[in-house]
């Protein structure tokens, strides 16, 4: 562990610098705090510096940090002496966590009103060694005896098992998934608990947390993680990450390889200069007297608080010069149109609800693997109009994709954002990949396998939260095993024009279980009829929504061609099958099919996922389209 000092205010852990900031304070490490710095900036916040700890408090809340490490030892709120788990070691209650090659280590900070604003400036100075970082997150571990009700979204909240319930339960196919067999609350008997069932896409990961319903005092308290902007999160709007889970733990995932794999690891070369501000995010506490219906009240209040924080973004209180204030940020607007000669006869079509984003310059679609820069995303309106505000100055590429349209868009010119700029891009035209008319298609090109067949969960392996919620069915445990039941001997065959992908196309191409614990690769078939073959090149557009240690080999009317007609090669580590995701990273391919591989009459495309030694290996399809040559 290297300690260096720079302008007197920096601590350094393994090559990363952290600024510690308290609301209303100038940026400096905790050991540099003086009460006078704080009170002069923000009279509401009082700071007590002691040898081993620093206490920040206002009329509502008191936060105790260790000095000089800066971990959060305690939060006193609404008569609760410490909402954090006091039985945990001092460095395991509230902290900033970076997981790199070796296990993570803490460091953190904040200050607030009825909560704590947290941010860190990570710096990798020029003389520092190479680093590989898999996760960056903020962690809060709440009092186990108090916080039992968890809320992640309007339709994703429930009474949760306790850590003891988990330790008494039965481990399922991996450590994270546990069958609750002797719960303290009998209502939870026979349910599965797995933290990945509460994952969320960045764009929706804005507020989540826990509620303490205290019947003794007749008081309820909520603890919420509020994220007013996604600009500092890596991987773009649909990168998935954890939220809250049994612990009771509340996380803020700022960077992660979950649902993506090592290919999105943040790699800093030796001497590579890097600096980025993560946050501020807001750990918010609220309370209400009574315990009846207070879950709903506290959740609604947290959602309201989120909108207040969003409206205040970018915050004006960070004193760090690395956090760019509103008046030094830029703005951009434009309109995305789509032109495809086989959609509406080649007329312009609006980029209805397109996702439009700025991210570091790179290849088309590269934003989903980016871990270093800021990203600024928005969704276009029905007419494809978009506005992106509060952009940190710098050089970006503008990327986009449109739900319902195959492929990825990138604006060819680098976008340079300067302080106060207001860039009018006008109409941008996306010409999606297209070689000829559609012969047939399967699925919806939207980067998810949700439209395909997601089976019912096993009744003895259920999370009741998702019962009766079809859109969340994919979050149930063990669905992958249904494949072998549905297709015990023969693999899936899809007959174009007859089959219905919402019923006949399994959501994931996983291996088939053979005997006790052996798995076998599977080959799916698409059968279709061609009344005639046009000489030339046909094209198969193939989009995958996920891949885990897979190799998809495609054959046209020949399952065993040597060499294969097409192969993706070894791809993917996103682990979306085991993590109850409905997508991981997006992969798209355009495969040329010479007409001599096709026949008049009945044709078969063989889709062999050639690697299959584990139940969690496999791919999810997003969309397949077959195009004939233009005539």
Ligand X SMILES: *[C@@H]1O[C@H](CO)[C@@H](O)[C@H](O)[C@H]1NC(C)=O
Helix (H, G, I), strand (E, B) or coil at 403: coil
Q: Structure tokens of 563?
A: 């060499």
* Alpha carbon distance 449, 455 (integer Å): 12
Helix (H, G, I), strand (E, B) or coil at 66: strand
User: Is residue 229 within 8 Å of residue 315, measured between CB atoms?
Assistant: no
User: Is residue 30 within 8 Å of residue 20, measured between CB atoms?
Assistant: yes
Min. distance of Cβ 122 from ligand X in angstroms? 45
**Interaction of residue 289 with ligand X, rule CB under 6 A:** yes
Min. distance of Cβ 217 from ligand X in angstroms? 9
What is the DSSP code (8-state) at residue 542? E
Min. distance of Cβ 147 from ligand X in angstroms? 19
Q: Structure tokens of 187?
A: 């209502």
Helix (H, G, I), strand (E, B) or coil at 34: coil
Min. distance of Cβ 216 from ligand X in angstroms? 10
Min. distance of Cβ 393 from ligand X in angstroms? 50
Strands (E), 168-273: 170-171, 178-179, 192-193, 200-201, 207-214, 219-226, 240-241, 244-245, 249-255, 266-268
* Residues in binding contact with ligand X, number by CB under 6 A: 3
Min. distance of Cβ 218 from ligand X in angstroms? 4
Min. distance of Cβ 213 from ligand X in angstroms? 11
Distances in Å between the Cα of 281 and the Cα atoms of 17, 91, 570 are 18, 20, 38
User: Is residue 603 within 8 Å of residue 527, measured between CB atoms?
Assistant: yes
Min. distance of Cβ 290 from ligand X in angstroms? 3
Min. distance of Cβ 469 from ligand X in angstroms? 31
Site for ligand X in 338-367 (CB under 6 A): none
Nearer to ligand X, 155 or 293 (CB): 293
**Interaction of residue 495 with ligand X, rule CB under 6 A:** no
Nearer to ligand X, 79 or 290 (CB): 290
Nearer to ligand X, 294 or 305 (CB): 294
**Interaction of residue 594 with ligand X, rule CB under 6 A:** no
Q: What b/e string do you get for 306-323 counting C-beta neighbours within 10 Å, with b at 16 or more? A: beebeeebbbebbbbeeb
Nearer to ligand X, 215 or 311 (CB): 215
Min. distance of Cβ 212 from ligand X in angstroms? 15
Q: Which residue's CB atom is positioned nearest to ligand X?
A: 290
Q: Structure tokens of 198?
A: 């509460």
Nearer to ligand X, 289 or 427 (CB): 289
Nearer to ligand X, 35 or 300 (CB): 300
Nearer to ligand X, 218 or 427 (CB): 218
Nearer to ligand X, 215 or 412 (CB): 215
* Alpha carbon distance 147, 162 (integer Å): 9
Nearer to ligand X, 213 or 266 (CB): 213
User: Is residue 376 within 8 Å of residue 357, measured between CB atoms?
Assistant: yes
User: Is residue 492 within 8 Å of residue 506, measured between CB atoms?
Assistant: yes
Going residue by residue from 372 to 411, which x/- string records binding to ligand X, judged by CB under 6 A? ----------------------------------------
**Interaction of residue 418 with ligand X, rule CB under 6 A:** no
Going residue by residue from 107 to 146, which x/- string records binding to ligand X, judged by CB under 6 A? ----------------------------------------
Min. distance of Cβ 214 from ligand X in angstroms? 10
Site for ligand X in 179-218 (CB under 6 A): 218
Q: How many residues in the chain?
A: 631
Nearer to ligand X, 288 or 610 (CB): 288
Q: What b/e string do you get for 31-52 counting C-beta neighbours within 10 Å, with b at 16 or more? A: ebbeeebbeeebeebebebeee
Nearer to ligand X, 189 or 289 (CB): 289
**Interaction of residue 290 with ligand X, rule CB under 6 A:** yes
Q: Please, which residues have CB within 8 angstroms of residue 105's CB and are 6 or more apart in sequence?
A: 13, 14, 97, 98
Angle at alpha carbon of residue 15, lines to 13 and 19, rounded to 5°: 60
Going residue by residue from 218 to 257, which x/- string records binding to ligand X, judged by CB under 6 A? x---------------------------------------
User: Is residue 623 within 8 Å of residue 442, measured between CB atoms?
Assistant: yes
Q: Residues interacting with ligand X, by CB under 6 A?
A: 218, 289-290
């Amino acid at each position: 562990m290297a300690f260096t000092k720079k302008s007197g205010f920096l601590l350094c852990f393994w090559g990363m610098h952290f600024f510690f900031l308290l609301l209303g304070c100038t940026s400096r490490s905790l050991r540099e705090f003086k009460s006078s710095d704080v009170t002069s900036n923000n009279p509401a916040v009082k700071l007590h510096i002691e040898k081993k700890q620093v206490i920040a408090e206002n009329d509502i809340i008191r936060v105790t940090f260790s000095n000089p490490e800066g971990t959060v030892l305690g939060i006193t709120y609404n008569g609760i002496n410490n909402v954090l788990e006091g039985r945990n070691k001092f460095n395991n209650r509230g902290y900033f966590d970076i997981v790199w090659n070796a296990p993570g280590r803490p460091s953190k900070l904040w200050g607030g009103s009825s909560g704590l604003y947290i941010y860190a400036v990570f710096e990798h100075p020029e003389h520092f060694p190479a680093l590989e970082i898999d996760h960056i997150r903020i962690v809060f571990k709440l009092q186990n005896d108090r916080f039992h009700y968890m809320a992640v979204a309007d339709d994703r909240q429930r009474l949760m098992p306790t850590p003891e319930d988990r330790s008494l339960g039965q481990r399922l196919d991996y450590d994270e998934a546990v069958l609750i067999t002797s719960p303290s609350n009998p209502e939870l008997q026979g349910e599965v608990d797995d933290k990945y069932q509460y994952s969320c896409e960045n764009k929706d990961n804005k507020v989540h947390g826990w509620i303490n319903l205290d019947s003794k005092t007749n008081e309820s308290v909520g603890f919420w993680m509020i994220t007013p902007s996604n600009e500092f999160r890596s991987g773009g709007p649909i990168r998935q990450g954890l939220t809250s889970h049994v612990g009771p733990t509340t996380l803020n995932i700022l960077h992660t390889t979950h649902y993506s794999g090592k290919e999105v690891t943040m790699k800093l070369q030796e001497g590579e200069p890097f600096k980025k501000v993560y946050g501020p995010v807001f750990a918010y506490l609220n309370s209400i007297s009574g315990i009846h219906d207070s879950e709903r009240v506290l959740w609604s209040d947290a959602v309201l608080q989120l909108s207040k924080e969003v409206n205040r973004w970018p915050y004006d209180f960070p004193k760090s010069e690395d956090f760019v204030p509103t008046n030094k940020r830029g703005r951009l607007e434009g309109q995305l149109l789509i032109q495809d000669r086989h959609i509406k006869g080649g007329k312009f079509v609006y980029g209805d609800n397109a996702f439009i984003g700025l991210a570091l310059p790179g290849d088309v679609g590269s934003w989903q693997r980016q871990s270093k820069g800021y990203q600024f995303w928005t969704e276009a309106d029905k007419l494809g109009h978009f506005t992106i505000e509060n952009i940190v100055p710098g050089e970006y590429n503008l990327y986009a994709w449109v739900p319902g349209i195959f492929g990825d868009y990138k604006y060819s010119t680098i976008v340079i954002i300067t302080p106060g700029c207001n860039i009018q891009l006008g109409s941008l035209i996306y010409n999606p990949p297209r070689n000829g008319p559609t012969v047939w298609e399967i699925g919806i090109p939207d980067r998810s396998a949700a439209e395909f067949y997601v089976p019912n969960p096993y009744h003895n392996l259920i999370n009741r939260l998702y019962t009766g919620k079809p859109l969340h069915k994919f979050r149930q445990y063990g669905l992958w095993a249904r494949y072998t039941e549905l297709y015990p001997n023969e693999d899936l065959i899809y007959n174009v024009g007859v089959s219905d992908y919402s019923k006949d196309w399994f959501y994931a191409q996983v291996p088939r279980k053979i005997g006790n614990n052996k798995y076998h690769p599977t080959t799916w078939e698409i059968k279709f009829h061609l009344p005639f073959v046009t000489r030339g090149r046909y094209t198969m557009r193939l989009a995958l929504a996920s891949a885990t240690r897979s190799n998809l080999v495609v054959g046209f009317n020949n399952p065993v061609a040597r060499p294969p007609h097409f192969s993706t090669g070894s791809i993917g580590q996103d682990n979306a099958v085991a993590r109850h995701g409905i997508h991981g990273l997006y992969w798209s391919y355009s495969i040329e099919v010479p007409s001599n591989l096709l026949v008049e009459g009945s044709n078969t495309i063989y889709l062999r996922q050639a690697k299959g030694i584990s139940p969690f290996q496999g791919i999810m399809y997003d969309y397949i389209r077959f195009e004939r040559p233009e005539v």
